[in-house]
A and B are shown apart, each in its own frame.
Chain A
Amino acid sequence: MNNNPYRFVINLPLKLILTLTVSSVFYLNGCATSKTVENEKDPYEQFNRSAFKFNDKVDGYLAKPISDGYRYITPQFVQTGVYNFYNNLKNVNVVINDALQAKFSQGAQDTGRLAINSTLGLVGIFDVAKNIGWEQNEEDFDQTLATWGVPTGSYLVIPILGPTTVRGVPGAAFDTAANPATYIGGAVNVVSLINTRANAEGALKFIDEAALDPYIFTRESFLQWRNNLATDGKSQASYGIDLDLESEESTPMKEIKK
């Protein structure tokens, strides 16, 4: 698998799904500070950091070993098929949220995607729709709530479930209820979780390598990524830092002591 940084971005949704379902895997260095600086997006940072560490332990001792075993014994085409199967079921959610957000044109395509993959794609094992140019859209109830004007709320890290926001909690509950995979059965869901964890390996490895403080790295990328999804990529918030540049530019480097 390609290890360039872009792979992280590509896999980021998988990582986030993972952290919402199993746990997150990150190094602990930098996370164990007792002092925290209050952040308006993260007023519960101390608790969140503790939950983050806990999730890291759970992942390290449980989820990752199982995932590694799964990846070792399972051929890539099987992993892809399993991923496609669960992704196809998730499209029921996508279609519902398309409608709730009044995205009727996109909803029509997503409905077609679901229909084609469920039939020609053999219950979703093969992503036939992708081959005809119907890319997967990402819609969920958290985005729907954003469309309806519900504010994001504080950042939260929930033990076992991972990062979310106050708005994301009811969003996740609705999505879980609307996803047919929820009603298939425990064993099937376990496979789904293992497969999701396995697919996120590359992204988690990237965070391990790149982050000076994995907690903050995860929080910032999660919040920005969710904001980008909620605004369909139209948000300029990510560029907002540019507005700060003027003041930074006016601050020259100090004279170096000899």
Chain B
Amino acid sequence: MIFRYLKFGIICVSMVLPTTKVFALDNSTATAKQVVEKFQADLISVMKNGKQLGYAGRYSNLENSVTNSHDLPKIARVIVGKEWEKLSGDQQKKLEDLIIRLSISSYAHNFKDYAGESFSYDSEEETTRGGILIHSHLNIVNDKPVKFDYMLKETGTSWRIINIVANGVSDLALKRSEYTSILQQEGFDSLVSKINDKINDYSKL
């Protein structure tokens, strides 16, 4: 996923300004860039109020933001690769629900502090299969910026994030390797158990 060789000494873009614009947009008409910027703004907002909100508050605040900006059902299919076809309908639905809960839990657990971070948009490009890649970076006080690339695909009439690549490390590829391996070696029930454990851990840590 992320990010090297970019030099930014100054935070160029405040997330507040794009946020106020994007919030007013109908999600179905938002551009890919606007979808990413709104999601990033929501994250920063939750981080700023992380302690007051607590885990449950952060989860609640991010639930709509994550589900409206990510195509989580598609992500659930992609990260199990060809194993998806081997799962029953019940298993597919269960896995999809778990991936959605895990994603929101992960954000709620990890985005609980704020230390002056902000996102900046760099550029965007179309992919060969009709997707859009948004290049951005995270500015961190007294540290190197981190490069974030968001891959979006059009779902119905709206753009949704399907992958985040940070400094060259793909979240989707990483999860896909993990999940397919567990499915192949240990089976569906073990994967479900591990995901449930993570969700529970996130709510307690």
Contacts and interface: CB of A to CB of B under 8 A. Distances in A.
A249 B85 CA distance: 12
Given A212-B195, A254-B88, A228 B168 contact: yes
A243 interface: yes
Contacts, number: 173
Nearest to B113: A2
B131 interface: yes
Tell which of B112, B131, B172 has the most Cβ of chain A within 10 Å.
B172
Contacts of A211: 178
A238 B182 CA distance: 21
B99 to A, nearest CB: 12
A212 B89 CA distance: 23
A10 B140 contact: yes
A220 B176 CA distance: 10
A4 B113 contact: yes
Interface stretch (A29-37, A61-69, A113-121, A169-177): A29-37
Interface residues of B, number: 70
A29 B194 CA distance: 9
Interface stretch (B21-29, B31-39, B60-68, B73-81): B73-81
A188 B170 CA distance: 37
A37 B77 contact: no
Given A225-B168, A239-B163, A249-B74, A209 B111 contact: no
Contact of B7 (A135, A210, A221): A135
Interface residues of A, number: 56
Interface string B106-139: 1001111101010000000001010101000010
Given A37-B185, A253-B89, 19 more contacts: A2-B117, A5-B110, A5-B111, A6-B166, A9-B2, A9-B166, A12-B169, A29-B194, A30-B182, A33-B185, A216-B178, A216-B181, A224-B168, A228-B167, A241-B78, A245-B129, A253-B73, A253-B92, A256-B89
26 contacts: A4-B47, A4-B111, A6-B140, A12-B169, A29-B194, A33-B185, A37-B184, A37-B185, A209-B202, A210-B198, A211-B178, A212-B179, A212-B191, A224-B173, A225-B167, A225-B169, A228-B167, A238-B170, A239-B133, A241-B176, A242-B163, A244-B78, A245-B162, A248-B77, A253-B73, A253-B93
